Structure 1
Amino acid sequence: MWWVKAHRVHTVLSASLALFVLLLVLFQGGSVALPSLTGGATQVVLALFVPVPLVSGLALCLDTRLPAAESTAVRPVRYLDAALVVAVALVATAASAVAGAAWEDAVTGAVGRNTLFLAGLMLIARALFGRPGVLLPTAWILTVCLCGFRPGNDAYPWTVLPEPLGAPHAAAAALLMFGAGVTVQIRYARNSP
């Protein structure tokens, strides 16, 4: 119980999940024209931005800790943190799949895949750079918006996020990034915030 309270799972993460679901509902099918470095304006679906509050809330929960208590804890705190990450990813993937199926919107259905990719990226960056590493998922989204599209609004394969729901390379990239992120979280997570 102290782990849940110390990491503020009941407050921060529940609010992040609620905001995630609210944004799924609000942004379904919506898009916005953004400037692109490759020339002209690019139509970017708003659903690309839906995982940001959830991934940020998860990072805050993982960074909010009691270092002295966790370093001497009998329970495997790193595995509890990894279980929290997996649980959040499963809930996000299920919520986007249900919303996508309910509205017959493949873009909304792909938000779960994108959340896996961005959460894995955040976990790796957090282990490498500490707290500033949580900005990397947002930087990835901005990079995709600014230079991830060919003329005609066709996304490059490396972008992963705007790829269609059935794109096998995007699903593989998301699963690999998430798996690598969870592995890094378990093995190389920092002992202090």
Structure 2
Amino acid sequence: MILWLKARRVHVLVAPATLAFIVVVAVGYDQYVQLPSLLGSGGNRVFLVQLAPVVITSALAQSLAHRVPEIEKTARRNTRLLDSALITTTVAVAAMAVWALGDASRSQEVLMAARNVVFLTGLMVLTRVLHEQAAVMAPVTWVFAVIFLGHRDPYRPWPWAVTLHPPGSLPTLALCLAVFGAGITAHVRHR
């Protein structure tokens, strides 16, 4: 177990990234910039917390890429299950901490960040199963596609831009949890 923790660099990558995510959301939850929309007229507000989940997804992708295949093939413990536990624990800690911050600050954007970290991590893990090198870029690409193409007008996102939907949207929450669950399932079953 200690070898797995060191190989995945949990103490160097994942723990600091989770803390950085929570700090960025806590400090910059109301900070935004007005950017142009490529599809609609006018601009759209991009909150800093929309970019924050990329910190966690990138750290997890980097952590999962640090493997020792020779040792893992002969290991007694199932490293795929350990990896899944790492992903789930990291996302749960980040989402719960940010959800608590959102309740305290009464900020909708903070609550969206909690949901978005679940969706973008699931997207990263699904992409990793298909193409390991593309895993880090999938959430980044999604975030920037949503920033520039996700708004019909400054206040209404397109249906596919799930990271912009209001935090109270149950269908969006269900979709985010489904993507995360599919990612974890694919990760455990992938050889």
TM-score exceeds 0.5: yes
Q: Give 1:163 deviation, angstroms.
A: 0.9
> What does 1:26-175 align with in structure 2 at a 5 Å threshold?
26-39=27-40, 40-175=42-177
Does the 8 A contact of 1:20 with 1:50 survive in 2?
Answer: yes
Q: Deviations over 1:84-128 (max 9, x none)?
A: 011011101111111101111121022111001000000011111
Partner-residue secondary structure (3-state), 1:157: coil
Local SS of the residue matching 1:21: helix
- What's the TM-score, normalizing by structure 1? 0.94
Q: TM-score, normalised by structure 2?
A: 0.95
Q: 1:13 maps to which residue? A: 14
**149-158 or 6-15, larger mean C-alpha shift:** 149-158
Q: Which SS does the other structure have where 1:65 is aligned?
A: coil
- Does the 8 Å contact 2:61/2:135 carry over to 1? no
- Answering whether residue 5 of structure 2 is matched by residue 4 of structure 1, we say yes
Q: How large is the Cα RMSD of the aligned pairs?
A: 1.1
Retained in 2: the 8 A contact 1:96–1:110?
no
In structure 2, C-alpha distance between the alignment counterparts of 1:129 and 1:109, rounded to whole Å:
30
What corresponds to 1:187 in structure 2? Answer: 189
SS in 1 for 2:135: helix
Identity value in percent: 35
Alignment partners' CA distance in 1, 2:135 and 2:13? 19
Q: CA deviation at 1:133?
A: 2.4
Q: Distance in 1 between matches of 2:24 and 2:60?
A: 16
Question: SS of the counterpart of 2:164?
Answer: coil
Distance apart, 1:16 and its partner CA: 0.5
Q: Is the 8 A contact 1:97 1:109 kept in 2?
A: yes
**Structure 1 stretches of at least 4 aligned residues deviating more than 3 Å after TM superposition:** none
